[in-house]
Amino acid sequence: MDYSQNQQGPRIRIPPRLIIGAVIALIAVGSYFANSSKNAITGRTQHISISPEQEVALGLQSAPQMAQQFGGLSNDRDATALVKRIGQKLVSKLPSEATPYPFEYHLLADPKTVNAFALPGGQIFITEALFSRLETEGQLAGVLGHETGHVLARHSAAQMAKSQLTQGLAQAVGVASSDSAQGAQNAARIAQMVGGFVNLKYGRDDELEADRLGLRFMLASGYDPRSMIRVMEILKEASGGSGQPEFMSTHPDPGNRVQVIEGWIKEAYPSGLPEGLQK
């Protein structure tokens, strides 16, 4: 009797965990790339899952808690008024595409932490520790312009989307790599660490883009963009000259940023900057 027609090769059985992991990964990647829009300020296409209005709401909701972490708002009325005045001067010269964001500039009471940061939607902060080190209005305009650049480039929203993608992929790896809960947690932890290093690169790129935008904004407001070079020197002095590896930092080394600033000025104004700019 001929059994050849009934004989079949070995059947390949795909473990259910691999199928589930693949589905989770596809959903994460699909959701990330499905949400894309062109940024009118930078001209870049970004993958962002929230609207400008949602960014504003998120920033307003987070602002009180963030301020509290740095000692609350400053009691120095004159310094606070200066921060607000320079901030609004920058806002008055921003491109029309910046209108969705109601910018507000705040001075924080923290006298030790040299920092400035922006929340999504236009809430911008600078600590007394950094403010007290600045020597001119132009330097303050540079710092605030840089943070304004972060907002208009929608860096926080883009990082949130990347974080969601990383978490989704980490979950997929965890499900697919092990039947045990402990094994899944270990695999997911490794995937998250790798994803964190990838996202750090984008963080450095964001910082440099915010530098370039800040230079544009402060120049449009009548401030000398070369003031940002001194800001970088001040930041380096405040760090005590520590040699933290640039790869492990979310901020580029100030020395490298000086080169970017100088290069931008030469490219934008090869014949020299306009006269009468405020330092």
Helix (H) or strand (E) holding 106: strand 104-108
Q: How far apart are CA 246 and CA 238, in angstroms?
A: 17
Q: What pLDDT was estimated at residue 70?
A: 93
Q: What pLDDT was estimated at residue 42?
A: 86
pTM: 0.76
- Nearest by Cα to 117 from 162, 148, 140: 148
- Nearest by Cα to 162 from 195, 210, 132, 140: 195
Q: What pLDDT was estimated at residue 256?
A: 81
Q: How far apart are CA 123 and CA 57, in angstroms?
A: 10
Q: What pLDDT was estimated at residue 97?
A: 82
DSSP per-residue codes, 223-248: B-TTHHHHHHHHHHHHTTT----GGG
CB contact at 8 A, 219 and 94: no
Residuewise pLDDT in 10s, the chain (279 residues): 555 555 555 666 766 655 555 555 555 454 555 567 888 888 888 878 788 998 899 899 999 999 999 999 999 999 999 999 999 999 999 988 888 899 999 999 999 999 899 998 999 999 999 999 999 999 999 999 999 999 999 988 877 766 655 654 555 555 555 555 555 555 555 455 444 444 445 477 888 899 999 999 999 999 999 999 999 999 888 877 555 544 445 567 766 888 889 999 999 899 989 999 999
